[in-house]
Structure 1
Amino acid sequence: MTFAPLLGSGMYQLASQWRAEKAQMDLATNTVGSPAANLFLNLDQERRLTAELQANPRESSREQLAKQRAVTDQTVSAFRPLAALDTSGGQEGLTDAIARTERSLGLLDQQRRAVDAGRSSQQKAFDYYSGVLESDLGVLTALSHTEHAEVNSQAQTLIDLFWVIDMIGREDAVLARGWETGHLTREEYGLVADAAGTKKHLLRSRVIPGLIGNESQYETLMTSKAWETMTALEGRLLTSGSSADSDQVTLRDAAPAWRSSVETVNAQLLQLLSLRLENVSKIGYSHAQQLFVIFISVTAVSLLAFALVIVTSWRLTAILRRRIRHLRMDAQQLQERLPDVVARLERGEDVDVDAEVHVVEPTPDELGELGQALNLASRSAVSTAVRQAEQHRGFQRMLQRIARRTQILIGLQLKKLDELERKHEDPEVLEGLFDLDHLTARLRRYEENLVILGGGQPQRRWRKPVRLLDVLRAGQGEVQDYRRISIDVEGDPWVTERAVGPLVHVLAELMENATTFSKPQTPVEVRAAAVSRGVAVEIEDRGLGMEPEQYAAANTLMKSPPQLDVMTHADDVRLGLYVVARLSASLGLQVEMRSSAFGGTRVIVLLPEPLIVDRPRVEVPSAPDATGPQPHPQETPGEDAQLPTRSRGRAMAYVTAPAVSPDRDDAPPSSDPRPLPQRVRQASLVTELKVPANRGEQTWPVRDQPSRSGATIGAFQRQSRRRRTGDDAFQLRPDGSPEPGTPSTEDR
């Protein structure tokens, strides 16, 4: 099979080279070369006759020019179709050269009319015809660049002959002006001198040394009588021009001798040009024909060899087909078995490597070695998969073990903070303890993230349903910037006990993302309402949002969370989204992210109907319980009553201390007899979310829905200062507003 591409490549290269050389030779000799050469020769004649007419507008000169123009028009008509010719397979630069010549020929009629009307100067007409001839020489030069090096070398001499003819034509056209006036300007003298020197250099150093074969008869071209006459006239002109001091160079009356010698030399040059063109064509076509013969020969031999290879291969294939078929069946079985092994490993099942690997019986030849290699490959693949699965499970177990130990420490820290909160009454100390309590709750959530990413589940469990509002508040309490979050719940939906812990975790992660990726001053709105398929919770921020591609990627992650290896995603900032996706998949939540109308992100969490329950019926106890909620008393305790004792699970901000009698000496002047508010840990939590209080502690009746807010803490601090300082009156600023720290009407 390797022989076929090599054979095809070699045959293609030979065929391409043969077609390229043949096409280039056709363009150089017939299609483009002949019209371009005829155009060059006729434009050279028209340039000289135009110069003679401008020098002496005789009737004979006009008739000769008219005849020459008619012949030139025929060559122009033959050249113009070349502009539309497809020369993509021809010489490089040929298309551009033809286009330049075509543009120059477009001004030919305009130039002729200007000459006939006397509007064109002699120098302008000379420059125009010389420019067209140079463009045409560009076409001929491009044609000389072929794929064959020998053709290129011989064609270069041909181009030099065209330049020699052009130089003689330039001399002839410039001298045609001076024969009538008997002198030339210095500029015209310079043109003649340059053309004569270029012509002599080309013939002596490039044309004559390059003559071959039957062209050697023209080696005496520069020693012929006509050439000597022409060069003698040029010599006298150059001598008189170099010795003259004026702006004009005098010409002797040698026009007939010049005309005769130039025509003779041009005739000899045209003969040499035709002979060289014939020789170049013969060399080019001969080489192309040789390539064609080689191509046919190589093709025939290659086809025979290819047929022999096919027959030999068929016989070998028939012998080895049966054994290869058995090996293929074994490989297919391995291909089907490996994905099943990997899937079982992902499900946590144990896999026996020896039982899963099917051993191929070895034989003492190359196919036997292939069977042994297949045995090694299958065993290596299964062993590697088992080892990686065991390493992954081991890392997950280690991660969960570390996270569980950290959670134990966090639990001990929460217990210690609870003891300190019950022990201290100083508002500043309590404020610091509350902040530590809040940070510890967040740290507990982060440790649960590690457990979830390690394949485990959060250990927080509830035995009773919980109101959705309390679940949202619990999630809000685990967010650093919780004050920016506003919660609005329509109705009174309740969440089943098995979904409380994971749902709090999911909502906390989403709320923290909303506060983290939005400005500190902007609010985060959380809304919940019943829909046709359950309850929808919307979390909307006013941050920068994400690109549509990022929204699509996040929603895809929510729908199908991958099997995450945290070792490979250590630098991924979306670990929180992985946790949300894992928990949502286990609960059956539908999480979708969209662009918000405020420019931020809007997250919709749909709780399905199985996670929503009716409000449980509350049984009223027959006797007051020290740990249960009590109705708020309608009247204030008596004057001699003591302040209530702090108790777990009761919001002391809603429990009033005894009123101070107005006639007491230490009573501050105030119209508000209410006592200082007191605070109790876990008062803002619903009953199902509280840690049970000690039975031995004294409890006080509270309102149905206590809450610990910033306003209550502020009121507590202001009341404390007022009782310590004994100043109950408003302290006003000069502008009439209350002084900071002075209790307001709302705080009373």
Structure 2
Amino acid sequence: MTTIRRRVARTLALPVAAVLVLLAVVVAIEARGYARAASAARAVSHVLAVQDLVQELQTERGLAAGLLGGNAGFRAELAPARARVDERRTRLDRLVTGPLDALDGVRISTDAATISRASAFGFYTARINDLSRIDTDLDGAGDTELRRGASALRALGDAKEAIAQERAFLNGVFSAGGFRKGEFLQFVTMRSAKDAALATFTRYATPEQRASADYVFGTGAGQVARHFEDLALASGDGRDLQVNPQSWWSAHTTVLDDLLRLEQHVGSVISVRAETLRDQATRRMIGLGVIVLLCVAGAIWLAVAASRSIARPLASLAARADELSQSQLPSAVRQVAAGAEVDAPDFEPPVGATREVQAVAAAFDRVQRTAYALATEQAQLRRGTTDSLADLGRRHQNLLRRQLGLITRLEREEADPAGLADLFELDHLATRMRRNAESLLVLVGATGPRPGFEPVPVEDVVRAAVAEVEEYRRVTLRRIDEVRLAGTAASAVAHLLAELIENGLAFSSPEVDVELQGRLVGDRYLIAVVDQGIGMTGADLDEANRRLRGEGDFLTAPARYLGHYVVGRLARDLGAEVVLTPSPVTGVTARVVLPAALIVAEPALPPITVEYLPAPAPAPAALPQQRPAPMAEGDVARTPNGLPRRPPRAPRVTRLHAAPGPADLSPDETRSRLTAFRSGVARGARSEEPQT
């Protein structure tokens, strides 16, 4: 079963996922820009380091050219220049391992003068070109300013290389005293490459960088270098050049040093730009990350808030409805059923609920008011029904009392045995009718407190129960342990047993008896009503035991189960337990467990006065007959039903007080006396039969 939160989460899942994907793409783009900026910063550092190495190689190349040109004065400067080259080479070992592999051999050949000036110049120039062509990926930078700075830096490096070549080349020319064949053309080519590189630098450089370059070439050293260049250009016809190579070298070296500083400045500008781009990319990524987190957190918060705004009022509404349906409404209905005037409980919507939830609350309020109206109407109808049933039961009870009183008077006046037998049968029917009236009062809870009597032997209670069923001749009494029950509970126990016995007889074959047994188990008394009838299924037994526990409503149950509800109400009032279980072979056994509170200890018997009355006339044939198979247990003779057999003599009447007149007898006393009288007549009839 889905919930509101899950549905809200599903609703927000797609847009949140789309936002996250877009933000992820933007973050990826920014991350790539950050990587490019960081790579550009590293590339600038590498370029500047390579240019430092190139600067020192250019110096070593010029000194080597001058030395090979015949100027031995450059030998002293060559060793420090080589040391600086080696130092910078060590710093960039991973980048320059290949280009400078043969440098040591050229140096040895230079010192031994076994290599020509042109060959040495060509070697150094080739190595410098290789270093200048190392790919640092500055051209792939995404920023325009960064790309322009990289182009300006590269053009400046090319111009510086052309100037360094010119310095080295003319250093050799000046040391040799003039151009040799083909060397003037090389010089012009170097001059043209320098001018082209400077033009490229001017196109990409910033105004400040162009001003710095102009300043470098306008210094004294720059002017001296330009003067020597003009002298070299003027000697293209092969004339001798009388120029001090040391002055040329010093002037051009100063210019190259200034250009190196300018190159480092341009590189630092590029590096600062790259760092700026990297910082910007970092801030953007952090900002985007914060935005992503805020979006996710916002989506979660919106989902939770939306679900809570719906779920909480609904949960409060459900809790309020449960409280109303389980507590307030049943309580109000019970009060109405008891006769009180109670209004329907109010149902207020949750605080802060939306209009939709308020509409649901209003609809539920209408539903509960309708339910309350129907429930109160049903409660009033039920109360009216139970009152009517109670009144009807009391009317029947009063009529039956009068009828039983009339029958008792007629029995006293009747001398004919046949007429007396008919009166006994009529008395039996009236007794059963009175039990039905009492059952009706039990069902509606109108029995009222029972009058107190002396404790009654349990066998008398069992006999009274058997006497109240129609087919009492099919009831067999087995062993009944002798105990005394509280007088206030005797009639209720007899009523309960009569219902169970009649139920067992109704569902048994006519030729099969229902057996009764009674056992004292600990401080409780167990009575078992065993039939051998059609039996019940497990589900039917469970449902029947539920009714015997007092659960359910007899007004809504089928009429055939009214006996179960009567037994359940009686058992609840007595504190007894009634359970139906399958019989050993077939049928059902009703187990009635009477609590210890209903069992009375045997008191010491006071002295009594015994008066023997004349033996009554023989009983008519219609009276209940006991089965002829007596049972003996110990030294006490017992009847076929298992009860102690009294000696065959005239009935004994024990009076502790003066015998009350007929008008003083209550219905229960009248019933008890009739039962005792009928039992005495039956014993008298059996005493005349031969004993086996």
Same fold per superposition (TM over 0.5): no
* TM-score normalized by the length of structure 2: 0.45
* TM-score normalized by the length of structure 1: 0.42
The structure with the larger Rg is 2
